[in-house]
């Protein structure tokens, strides 16, 4: 499916921007995915390969910049981007009130945090959460509390959680996703965990470039396959496949 792109949409008072990827000629509102990058400031471009792959599956994908080095750790910008998605997705060909919240690395815990603490969004929860290569024992950028601590305290996401973590990840060990999956299963919550044969960057169809000090697109087969797996998880989470 052909994909249409809009770049640099301002999403809130911070002046930060996001990119939009959507299927061309969709005959009905597309399932909406808000996809948060990791701890590197303003790295929405890093997620372009995955966003394009997901949009080709029929999803409207919004990828915002946010800055982990902001005074609040990025919380305000993350929540601004969520408010934008909820308010504007309908006019962009999607469904803002029933969207999938997804994140990679630090963005993963931030996404789950919203589902665990809906009071930060006036009671709203996403349709599902998809976490890629995340840690959940550290404070989420959206809430300031660790998702595993929230679970231990009796909080529940109340929505399906889908996890994908590269089995060869040396940046964030896959045991962090396994620990979360086990904690969710122990409380009877719906969760899936897939561990493709790839690394931290490969799970989003990239490889780390030391010279650029950032992840860049790659055609390595392990990364391409992992990205397709994530795109499938996003589509299934939103009921698009």
* Domain extent for 214: 3-237
CB within 8 A of 154, min separation 6: which ones?
none
Q: What is the CATH number of the domain that holds 158?
A: 3.40.50.1820
d(CA 189, CA 8): 37
d(CA 157, CA 21): 27
CA-based nearest residue to 80, from 131, 125, 13: 13
Percentage above 90 pLDDT, the chain: 92
Residues shown for the chain: 241
Poorest-confidence range of 117-121, 161-165, 187-191?
A: 187-191
The reported pLDDT for the residue numbered 105 is 98
Specify the number of domains making up the chain. 1
List, for residues 40-99, the tens digit of each pLDDT value.
Answer: 999 999 999 999 999 999 999 999 999 999 999 999 999 999 999 999 999 998 987 889
Distances in Å between the alpha carbon of 220 and those of 54, 67, 131? 18, 29, 22
Other Cβ atoms closer than 10 A to 207: 17
């Amino acid at each position: 499916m052909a994909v249409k792109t809009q770049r640099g949409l301002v999403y809130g008072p911070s002046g930060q921007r996001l990119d939009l990827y959507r299927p061309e000629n969709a005959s009905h509102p597309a399932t909406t995915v808000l996809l948060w990058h990791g701890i590197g400031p303003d790295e929405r471009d890093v997620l372009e390969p995955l966003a394009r792959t997901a949009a080709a599956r029929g999803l409207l994908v919004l990828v915002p910049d946010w800055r982990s080095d902001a005074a609040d750790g990025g919380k305000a910008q993350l929540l601004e981007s969520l408010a934008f998605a909820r308010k504007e997705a309908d006019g962009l060909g999607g469904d803002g009130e029933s969207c999938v919240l997804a994140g990679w690395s630090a963005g993963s815990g931030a996404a789950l945090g919203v589902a665990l603490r809906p009071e930060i969004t006036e009671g709203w929860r996403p349709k599902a959460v998809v976490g890629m290569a995340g840690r959940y024992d550290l404070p989420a950028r959206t809430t300031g509390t660790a998702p595993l601590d929230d679970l231990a305290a009796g909080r529940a996401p109340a929505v399906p959680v889908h996890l994908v973590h590269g089995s060869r990840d040396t940046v964030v060990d896959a045991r962090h996703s396994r620990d979360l999956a086990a904690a969710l299963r122990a409380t009877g919550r719906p969760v899936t965990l897939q561990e493709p044969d790839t690394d931290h960057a490969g799970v989003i169809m990239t490889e780390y470039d030391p010279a650029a000090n950032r992840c860049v697109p790659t055609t390595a087969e392990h990364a391409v396959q992992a990205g397709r797996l994530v795109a499938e998880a996003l589509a299934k989470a939103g009921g698009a496949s």
